[in-house]
Structure 1
């Protein structure tokens, strides 16, 4: 059983870490922490110029996952075409919910945030915090679309923008 757990993620594989989005496993190494020897995934997030070390035994528990399937990416892009669902709650409460969805690492939830916060040119201006959440969700979505489809981020961004601008107003 423990052997199967260890081989769930491999070096050079792209993974999604909930709080940071898409990263690539650079290596699996042993490290001594507080007197214990731990096996760690070394994950590189090139765009953020960040390296993260995650204990292999806790990766799934933390919510680290493989990239979404192409089918799930298609469903997430389909979600973008839907009508924005904006609750009538106070902005601070909605902002908290959006942030939780973004940091959940769940592609469908992230797509919902992009859909709900997207503004067409003729719509009212976004507040600073709204724009920040929108850009964070958009970044996570496009990075995963790029990694799954095998294109660069600019191409993925263009594809997502096309879906958003093509939806019914």
Structure 2
């Protein structure tokens, strides 16, 4: 076992905080500055991107396995809760939401989705609110889809259903 405590195999789904769900395409050894470095090669199909994360730095980089069942159910429960919108300036709230989305923590992402969700009878969102909402919903849906082994659209429908039950 690696000293990081993380031991991913080829084909494993993983979550990288800034990019969401990807899968391990391989483990390579690369020459960097004259040193040999073992890296996880992670591909993100939805972003058409490949990321290489040193195996020894995987945990500090925030790389983690898909959320456990209890975390998913807690995130879904969070969606059903009441929106907690602080009365601070939008720019400050937007920064906090962005930080939560990029934290990679499913429950924090669920809080953003819940707080920015608008029901049919509520006023229209601003462009930046809608962008953050879509980003958070997409990130959460991709992880739920990978866990439940369903496609992204089915996961979005499942999350939206949880949100509308709350409203």
| Segments of 4+ moved more than 4 angstroms | none
SS of corresponding position for 2:25: strand
How far apart are residue 41 of structure 1 and its match? 0.4
Q: CA RMSD in A?
A: 1.2
Contact 1:70 1:149 (8 Å CA) reproduced: no
TM-score by length of 2: 0.96
TM-score by length of 1: 0.95
SS of corresponding position for 1:61: coil
Matches within 5 A, 1:81-96: 81-96=80-95
Contact 2:86 2:93 (8 Å CA) reproduced: yes
How far apart are residue 70 of structure 1 and its match? 1.5
Deviations 1:110-169 (A, max 9, x none): 0000000000111111111111110110011000101111111111111001111111x3
Unaligned runs of 5+ in 2: none
Contact 1:80 1:163 (8 Å CA) reproduced: yes
Query: What is the count of residue pairs matched by the alignment?
Result: 167
Cα distance in structure 2, aligned partners of 1:94 and 1:108: 17
The residue aligned with 1:109 is 108
Unaligned runs of 5+ in 1: none
Using a 3 Å threshold, how does the CA distance of structure 1 residues 93 and 70 change in structure 2: closer, same or farther?
same
The residue aligned with 1:69 is 68
Matches within 5 A, 1:126-145: 126-145=125-144
The answer to whether structure 1 residue 161 and structure 2 residue 131 are counterparts is no
